Amino acid sequence: MILIDGKATAATIKAEIKEEVEKIVAQGGKRPHLAAVLVGHDGGSETYVKNKVLACEACGFKSTLLRYEEDITEEELLSCVSRLNLDNDIDGFIVQLPLPKHIDEQKVIEAIDYRKDVDGFHPINVGRVAIGLPAFISATPKGILELLRRYNVETSGKKCVILGRSNIVGKPMSQLMMQKGVDATVTVCHSRSKTLKEECRQADIIIAAIGKPGFVTADMVKPGAAIIDVGTTRVPDASRKSGFRLSGDVDFENVAPLCSYITPVPGGVGPMTICMLMQNTLAAGQKLYY
Ligand code: NAP
């Protein structure tokens, strides 16, 4: 069994990005600039945004953090998005989700100029990815594909079962796995799937993104399968200073001995996600897609 080290891979990629940025700057080009909009004080969102700012520093990017209180109106947030769309110094920006309930998230996503949508959530980017055109790809699935590539996990002609059909992980993941060059045969399972276990048992690759700790058990895994665990659920743990630990969707202890490859939680998919946001920002700065 090979443990896929997302932390080390992400560090390598960030170093590659930094090298590229310094080359661009040395040639008189512009240092990429990412802005992040954070609404409210949700603990998870604060951590994600802090880590994104730190990743910008590691990659040699400029970063700007815009903070708003929980009671910001939808109109105010939309005018912030308009300002960022028009700001020529900002190459790409993200609005950290989730947003407070009184704000329509989809409206905000669609207000972002797709050429600056480094999260890859705008319908134009989603659609372009679906038909195989260059575009900003949602960071988590992009990071998973990068891990599969860097670890030479065979995908061509393989049966890949994706657990979960969310817009940010499951759906884009299925598009990427079936695209030409990756060439997997893809099955997507969700909460209404009746044959989920049987599908998993036949899979060469399982990508679990449902948010249910330990859901994928050893009896669901074919010996030699590659397992990618996207799940990150906070479970109470009194032995930790934080009071919780992160748990994946896979029963790691019992599944790991069976597989060819597996990602740990934490340290697998998670670190790759922010790193892919950095790659998207570099691409935005270079006007690579638009
Ligand atoms: P989500 O929007 O809540 O979607 C969960 C999906 O799982 C849905 O499609 C749901 O089916 C399906 N599901 C739920 N319970 C199920 C069950 N018992 N059997 C089969 N399918 C079931 O979640 P998400 O945003 O995609 O995130 C999934 C997990 O990945 C979470 O733990 C999240 O924290 C983690 N995540 C990690 C990263 C990272 O960077 N590491 C990034 C994003 C997400 P229905 O559609 O039928 O409801």
Q: pLDDT at position 234, please?
A: 93
Same domain for 70 and 147?
Answer: no
Residue with tokens 């009746």: 194
List pocket residues of ligand 1, CB cut-off 6 Å.
140, 163-166, 168-170, 189-192, 196, 209-212, 230-233, 269-270, 273
For a mutational test of ligand 1's pocket, the pick from 210, 230, 272, i.e. the residue with the most ligand atoms closer than 8 A to its C-beta, is: 210
Q: What is the CATH number of the domain that holds 32?
A: 3.40.50.10860
From 157, 218, 154, 227, select the one nearest 4 (Cα to Cα): 227
- Read off the pLDDT of residues 148-162 as tens digits, 9 standing for 90 and up: 999 999 999 999 999
The percentage of residues in the chain with a pLDDT greater than 90, rounded to a whole number, is 99
Same domain for 61 and 100?
Answer: yes
pTM comes to 0.97
Domain extent at residue 230: 139-270
- Read off the pLDDT of residues 72-104 as tens digits, 9 standing for 90 and up: 999 999 999 999 999 999 999 999 999 999 999
Same domain for 176 and 211?
Answer: yes
Q: pLDDT at position 67, please?
A: 98
Distance CA 111, CA 63 (A): 21
Task: Give strand pairing partners of 62.
Answer: 33
Q: pLDDT at position 34, please?
A: 98
Q: Which residues of the chain have pLDDT under 70?
A: none
Angstrom distances, CA of residue 142 to CA of 51, 91, 127: 18, 19, 15
Q: What is the number of the ligand 1 atom nearest to the C-alpha of 272?
A: 40
Same domain for 55 and 178?
Answer: no
